[in-house]
A and B are shown apart, each in its own frame.
Chain A
Amino acid sequence: MEKPVATLDKGAICSAWNYCGQRLAAGSVDGYLSILDSRDPLSSSFTSSFKFKVHEGCVVKVAWIPPEYGVAVACIAEDGTLSIWEELVEGTNPLEWKLCTSFKTSSKVLDVQFSVTQTSLKMVAAYSDGFVKVFELLDPLELKNWQLQAEFQNVIDSVTIVGKASCLTACISWNPQNGEGQESSFILGFNSDTPQLNSPKVWEFDPAHQRWLPVAELALPVDKGDQIYSVAWAPNIGR
């Protein structure tokens, strides 16, 4: 029933498959990122084809960038740094993975997810102080320049700001449906000491006001303040 397809090196701690399930990115405790491929498209046995150091500390999460923007992986380190690495061939150099950009702020990045809208690539990053930032890629062919589009907290009431929040983990999931006429939306939940931040909320972009608005809160009144560990958006198949 089950078949082993890959063996990860010692210290591997997180992994992510790319959009077509043909490549696996694995991060390890000593700061290395491995990329595994299968030699033959028909076989299902994956071996490491690249391994390079991305951070000094442990890599806690990896996420692939949508293929419309290249072959790239975003890595989050234990110290909260976010870096984006891309597989490129530049000039006459052989194929290699290069650092495109790196974000370091006082608060740590906890989770990052990407979404392709009709016009651009958006990145949502959740931080340890309870804030979430939405970035937009300016140039579709370069993963270097990201513009901060919005910054807000995961609370319904946008007026008050919850200060001194301390979050352990966060989870984000984009709505995979990007049909015409539909604005992009994502769901965000935190695992923190502040109950208002925790409950998973669906955020949708309002183009008229150029703002992100919470359109739903997925929590029963009873367990609103519970910590959230993981969210995932189901693919919409026709309803």
Chain B
Amino acid sequence: MPGVSSDSARGALVPLSPESPAAAVYPLRHGLKSPISRLSISWSRGNSLRVSVFAAPSSDGSVNDGDGGKVVEVKLGGGDGEISEAHWRRIAYGSVSPFALLQSRKNAVFSLSKFSMNSSPYDGDWWDYIMEYSKDINALLVNQKSASVPVLDDPKSVITKGEEPTSLKAAWELLEMFYAEKPSHSWLPERLVDWLADYDSLFSGTHPTVHSKLVDFQKELVNLQVVEDDPKYWEVMSSALAVGWLNIVVKMLRLHGSYRLDQLSNRETENGLVEAVAVLISKMPRMRLEHEAGKLGECYKAKPDFVKAWEKWRGQINKLDSSAFWFQCAHQQTREGLRSMLQIMLGNANSLCSATYNWIELYISHFLYMRPLTVGLESMYSLAQKSIQLKPMASAHRLMGLIIGILGENTEVVLAECLKGFGPWMVAHAIELLTAGSDHAEMLLHEERQNLGGISIEELHRLVYAQVLSSFPLTWQIAPIYLISCMKHGMVLLQRLLSKQPVQDNQLLLKSIEICRLYELHSVTSNIMKIAGVHHWKHGRKGSGVFWLQQARDEYRLNRIALQLFDSVGKTISDESFKQWEGLIQLLGSDSKTAGGLEFLHKYRDFKKSLRQIHDGKATDSARQAVESLISLMKNPSTPQRFWLPLLYDSLKLLNWKERPLLNVSQTNLLLNKLQELSMARLRPDFIESELPPQALNSVRLALGTNLGRAILEE
């Protein structure tokens, strides 16, 4: 990070004291056999670091097995194990428009709020925008892979295929739940119950979960003849009940042997008890707005209604629990299993604790059966702490850390957990949710901080994410969107990003220029074009070179090119080179700024062209045309004096025309005068001698003299 700058306006150089904590150290594998003698480091695009490791050259001349050196590229912050690179790119590309849309809406809202009297610019529309943003991003996180999810179509299966959840999506939904939804819509405990139902499987890798027990039981289920004899059957049902997966429980209950038609007559009481429990479960009151279709349980919106129903329900459970039918139930496991399920429904803390496997499940079970009326993050947080104490975990899962941070209402912890567990993408996009409704969070994240170089935390994370995007050739093009949303450092970083793009590939070049134009980075545009022009020029593609230099308005180099073209005047060059020379003059145009007028070059080109059309003294008309061009060239003041002799030397053919003298007296006199001027000029010290054979002047003089004679005779 940049060192501390002084406050004085002039700026002084201040030594950067190493007060920051010890830097992280990472081992680097290079694969060289010999010991290392040197290292060279260089930052590449974005945040990739390239390290060249050189092996010590062998001093004794022996054959060194292995290579002389290796170059490795280091990108810190590896990807998410659950998400493939292609999926990550889809997410990155897909997040761009929701992000950009939200930023433009934010700007619109802020500019409007300057004129209105509202203290806070956030109104009803704002929550809709945030929700739209959140849903758009959420849609991107859907994984194409499918996995096992507890559902209920097939009678014998409790688990079926569905979409495989990812921690990233789980995390996003948590943030959406707590920050993006309007406060009046949140029935947070119930939302958490649903959330766990979707994502409990994510914890199975590192912690024991109800989901994994279900999956295991499903495998055994196919082989079981008499389900109710297997103690696992009852355990799994209790666990599912504890976390509120009512549909699964009821379905499993109906697998009970007592439902079989041939058993019905013998096990009537047993069946009655099982059915009674099933009915009670399906009528469980829940404090929420509504259920998805097909889900069991009765929903209540208002607290008094819920409380009444809850007491009634509990009363029914107690009545069943104390009924005499239990003694008549012959099957022991059924009796015990059902009664323990009743205990769960009655909110028995021990039963809940033994039925759940990790603290989140225990937490959820407390909401369902012990404290269904919990409101407020504070009470939710203290309940979570209690659950953690009751079920301490050896290792932490990134989602768990996130939940604790959210419940603790600690924005910094939430950000830290997002960054640590889910990476820069998550932080850059989640900040929008965090600042949505909370003034405190907004202040915290938008405040400019000196220790960060004068930028806010929000800007810092966007810049970090943009750097990550810049590190990959397939995603650098979306980095600009994030960079321009950063007020302070974004533009400069964008300029750097664009200046470092290669120009060889035409498509890439055009893309870079397009982005530059979009953000009005004129100096970067002309620089890129300049580099492209020079590159093409030096690699034999002179036409493209001139084109790009013209686009860049690089007068300096174009002048030099024009001067180079001048060098070809008076020299014999091959047809191919002539074509190229001619083409370049065409491209350069007759812009009078370049090299004091390319007008001369154009005329010279026309003259040369007409000269070439003359073959062996035959076509008089074209010869005459050539003479006209010659005369006009010699008369023209824009013709530099140093080219007079080369011009005349070039036209020796014309001057020595066999058929008849092509120049009349006055024309010949004009040329002779010019020649005289030239001889005078040669005496001056600053005269530049043109590279012509030594007898050139004499041959021209001779030809002109002869021509004069013939012309006089003609007249």
- Whether, in the assembled complex, A207 has its beta carbon less than 8 Å from a beta carbon of chain B, the answer is no
Smallest CB–CB gap between A183 and chain B, Å?
15
Give the nearest-CB partner of A20 in chain B.
B502
Residues in B with CB closer than 8 Å to A140 are: 556-557, 560
- Is the pair B76, A238 in contact by a Cβ cutoff of 8 Å? no
- Is the pair A41, B473 in contact by a Cβ cutoff of 8 Å? yes
- Whether, in the assembled complex, B29 has its beta carbon less than 8 Å from a beta carbon of chain A, the answer is yes
- Is the pair A11, B29 in contact by a Cβ cutoff of 8 Å? no
Per-position binary interface string of chain A over residues 15-35, scored 1 when its CB falls under 8 Å from any chain B CB and 0 otherwise: 111011110101011000000
Smallest CB–CB gap between A175 and chain B, Å?
12
- Whether, in the assembled complex, A99 has its beta carbon less than 8 Å from a beta carbon of chain B, the answer is no
Smallest CB–CB gap between A14 and chain B, Å?
7
Q: Pick from A67-75, A150-158, A165-173 the stretch touching chain B.
A: A67-75
Cα distance A2–B226 when bound, in Å? 56
- Is the pair B502, A22 in contact by a Cβ cutoff of 8 Å? yes
- Whether, in the assembled complex, A9 has its beta carbon less than 8 Å from a beta carbon of chain B, the answer is yes
- Whether, in the assembled complex, B286 has its beta carbon less than 8 Å from a beta carbon of chain A, the answer is no
- Whether, in the assembled complex, B337 has its beta carbon less than 8 Å from a beta carbon of chain A, the answer is no
- Whether, in the assembled complex, A159 has its beta carbon less than 8 Å from a beta carbon of chain B, the answer is no
- Is the pair B473, A67 in contact by a Cβ cutoff of 8 Å? no
- Is the pair A67, B2 in contact by a Cβ cutoff of 8 Å? no
Cα distance A15–B44 when bound, in Å? 14
Give the residue of A20, A28, A29, A239 whose beta carbon is less than 8 angstroms from that of B454: A239
Residues in B with CB closer than 8 Å to A19 are: 499-500
Give the residue of A2, A86, A238 whose beta carbon is less than 8 angstroms from that of B74: A2
Smallest CB–CB gap between B66 and chain A, Å?
8
- Whether, in the assembled complex, A216 has its beta carbon less than 8 Å from a beta carbon of chain B, the answer is yes
- Is the pair A89, B539 in contact by a Cβ cutoff of 8 Å? yes
| A7-B474 contact, Cβ under 8 Å, with A1-B26, A15-B40, A41-B505 | no
- Whether, in the assembled complex, B587 has its beta carbon less than 8 Å from a beta carbon of chain A, the answer is no
Give the residue of B15, B71, B496, B531 whose beta carbon is less than 8 angstroms from that of A68: B531
- Whether, in the assembled complex, B538 has its beta carbon less than 8 Å from a beta carbon of chain A, the answer is yes
Residues in A with CB closer than 8 Å to B45 are: 20-21
Cα distance A234–B43 when bound, in Å? 11
Q: Which residues of B contact A (CB under 8 A)?
A: 2, 5, 13, 15, 26, 28-31, 37-38, 40, 42, 44-45, 50-52, 54-55, 57, 64, 67-76, 78, 453-454, 473-474, 488-489, 491-493, 496, 499-505, 508, 527, 530-531, 534-535, 537-540, 556-557, 560-561, 564
Given contacts A6-B71, A239-B454, 8 further A-B contacts (CB under 8 A): A3-B73, A9-B68, A21-B50, A88-B539, A95-B540, A141-B537, A238-B488, A238-B489
Identify 26 residue pairs between A and B in the complex whose beta-carbon atoms are under 8 Å apart, listed by A's number. A1-B76, A2-B29, A3-B72, A4-B72, A7-B69, A8-B69, A15-B54, A22-B502, A26-B69, A29-B57, A41-B505, A42-B473, A67-B503, A67-B534, A87-B538, A88-B538, A88-B539, A89-B539, A95-B540, A139-B560, A140-B556, A141-B534, A218-B15, A237-B492, A237-B496, A238-B488
Closest 4 A/B residue pairs (Cβ): A89-B540, A8-B69, A12-B68, A10-B68
